[in-house]
Amino acid sequence: MIKQKVSSKRSSSETIKQKVGSKRSSIYKFRYAMRALVGLSLDRPVTTRIQNGCIVGSYVDERGASGDSILMIPDRATPGVRVGNYGVRELQLAHLTSQIAEPHVSHPIAILDQMIAIPDPALPIHPLPHVELANLPTRNKEGKPITRPELGLQIDPKAVEKFITTYGVFHGARKDHPAFAQNIAEVADRQSVLRRAWLIGIGGDFEGRAFRVGFFPSHVSLTTDDLWQFICYLFKCDDWDEKIGVCGNPGCSAPYFVKKRIDQKYCEKGACTDYAHQQHALKWWRETGQRRRAKKRGKSPRKRRR
């Protein structure tokens, strides 16, 4: 079922509402002709250090100078997040939720993703935070690197510190609180939830929250200062598009990746690309090569010329 509303002369917006699946399904797609910018509003910490199981940091230095206030916007073409300042402080609060996969799972405007405007390519770019969080190094009690969610894993504090320096804390202090303390155990818990969702699908831990909405002549701005909310949004976008992938190389140290093709089985790191070529050659040898060898053995010997 497709319902299309054509705007009048006074309005340039167009709404398309598309129902997916059977009549009983509660899954809807919403797409807006007006472009939308979806981003993470954050303040970069000036200093960070590891202390008592936390990443302790400050948004101001000894002279009172503060860090950068930025907005991270997903760029699906790269993929990655671009960094810029879009005046998000003036935006108002609003709730935009829809449903995906399961009726009880709240899903914040993720399906607007296909209409997100591509930011200025000159802006600096960083890896996608949900991919970075899922791939933060973890080890078991014996010190062996483990990438699958297990009980008792220890996350690398240095990697967590770098992650917080780049993407900010999950929630809490901003400019009105000059210091913060991000519990490393909380980061590990969030990573475990994300990894389980990556492997088995979306669960109840991915609940939608409020996005700030700003209306401009050329676009709509949808932002949040909650890092976990932003990560859930990015994951749901990729899950909706069937782009969530786990590298098929058992030796891959960062197996969680975003697919460029739905049938992609391996990430694009050098070692994993080589492994993929080896597996392809081995499959060819087992299947095509075996048939050729069997056919060759089945040939009758050539008759000798007299």
**pLDDT tens per residue, range 55-95:** 998 887 777 667 677 778 777 777 788 776 543 333 333 33
DSSP-derived letter for residue 249 is -
* Bridge-based pairing state of the strands 179-183 and 2-5: unpaired
Q: Give residue for tokens 């010190």.
A: 143
The span from the CA of 280 to the CA of 230, in Å, is: 37
More confident site: 45 or 28:
45
Lowest mean pLDDT among 74-78, 106-110, 136-140: 106-110
Above 80 in pLDDT, residue 172?
no
Average pLDDT over residues 182-200: 92
Q: What is the pLDDT of residues 192-218, one digit of tens each?
A: 999 999 998 765 556 656 677 777 666
Residue 120 pLDDT: 57
CB 31 within 8 Å of CB 20: no
Above 90 in pLDDT, residue 134?
yes
Q: Which two tokens stand for residue 5?
A: 């509303």
Tell whether pTM > 0.75.
no
CB 66 within 8 Å of CB 78: no
The span from the CA of 227 to the CA of 82, in Å, is: 15
CB 254 within 8 Å of CB 135: yes
Q: At what angle do helices 184-200 and 227-240 cross, to 10 degrees?
A: 10
CA 150 → CA 153, 234, 259, distances in Å?
Answer: 6, 24, 24
More confident site: 299 or 187:
187
Residue 21 pLDDT: 39
Residue 63 φ then ψ, to 5° = -90, 0
The span from the CA of 79 to the CA of 125, in Å, is: 9
Residue 283 pLDDT: 74
Average pLDDT over residues 232-261: 89
The domain locations on the chain are 34-264
Average pLDDT over residues 95-99: 32
The span from the CA of 257 to the CA of 265, in Å, is: 10
Tell me which amino acid residue 236 is. Answer: K
Average pLDDT over residues 256-278: 85
Average pLDDT, the chain: 71
Above 60 in pLDDT, residue 16?
no
Residue 136 pLDDT: 96
Lowest mean pLDDT among 2-6, 234-238, 270-274: 2-6
